[in-house]
Amino acid sequence: MNKEIKNALFTSLVLVIAVILIYLLYLVRDVIPTIIFGSVIAYVLLPITNFFEKLKLPRSLASFLTLLLFFFLLTLLGYLLIPLIIRELLELAHKIPNLQENITSFFENIGRALNAQVESVFIKNIIANTTSTLQSVILNFITNFAKQIGTKLSNVGSLVISFLLAYFFMKDSKALYRITLRRFDPKFRIKIKHFLDRTNDEMRTYFSTLVIISIIIGFFMGFGSYIVGVKYAVFIGVIDSFLEMLPYVGPTVVFLTG
């Protein structure tokens, strides 16, 4: 009986603690995305910080230079790519009605080649609805782009906090790693350390390879499209680069645009 009471008390205590933790997370729910964003940035940029540290730079300076380099590259890419992408999207949105006629003719030609009874009106309605929706989506995206940028900039406080957290996470990453390991029982500590190190190496290898492949494919798709005179080359390159990170989706887009 005493054992049953102890088990019941222990279960009740665990439930109470879980409820309190969930409630605390609910109270700080607005802060959680900021912390997660800072943690992701720190994890992604940590190898650069480690590289700078190998050059005999202090850890704090290495972390600061890493963030500075990140800001510079982000600003440069935005300055070079965003105006081009918006311009190409505007051109694409205005030319979608012409694409509608070409697509309709394409399906009608297929139907005639296969001697099939094609419901021309039905196909035209489907294509018209699809192209109209696509045109509206593109125009709404362009119209709301500046508004979305303004909304994000209004949350500049959260962004600053995220980057400050990223800085401290990178600067104190080794200490945080040691503190985390000390939370575990000493007899399991070595196994947990090996597991964390192996998982970290595999994740970094996978994602770094994926990013490099995506950038290379996006660059060559955009550059190749530009060389052969395909319109919207920058847009094609950027979309291919991002979607290449998604299994099956990226290669399909590369095939279709190629």
Percent of the chain with pLDDT over 70: 64
Apex 92 CA angle, 86 and 97, nearest 5: 145
Q: Which pLDDT tens digit goes with each residue over 168-200? A: 888 888 888 888 888 877 778 888 888 888 888
Q: What is the overall mean pLDDT for the chain?
A: 75
In b/e form, how buried is each residue of 88-100, taking b as 16+ CB within 10 angstroms? bbeebbeebeeeb
Does residue 45 register a pLDDT over 60? yes
Q: Which pLDDT tens digit goes with each residue over 123-133? A: 666 666 666 67
- The better pLDDT of the pair 33, 97 is held by 33
pLDDT band for position 226 (cuts 50, 70, 90): confident
Residue range 117-128: average pLDDT? 58
Task: Please provide the size of the chain in residues.
Answer: 258
Does residue 6 register a pLDDT over 60? yes
The pLDDT of residue 184: 79
Nearest-angstrom CA–CA distance, 80 and 233: 14
Does residue 139 register a pLDDT over 70? no
Q: Are 218 and 241 in contact (CB under 8 A)?
A: yes
Handedness of CA 56, 57, 60, 66 (dihedral sign): negative
The pLDDT of residue 200: 83
The pLDDT of residue 120: 56
pTM of the model as a whole: 0.63
Q: Are 181 and 189 in contact (CB under 8 A)?
A: yes
The pLDDT of residue 251: 57
The pLDDT of residue 67: 92
Q: Are 142 and 93 in contact (CB under 8 A)?
A: yes
Nearest-angstrom CA–CA distance, 102 and 92: 14
Q: Are 91 and 105 in contact (CB under 8 A)?
A: no
Q: Are 49 and 62 in contact (CB under 8 A)?
A: yes
- Of 55, 73, 74, 132, nearest to 99 (Cα)? 132
Apex 85 CA angle, 82 and 87, nearest 5: 105
User: Of 68-77, 85-94, 141-150, 178-187, where does mean pLDDT reach its minimum?
Assistant: 141-150
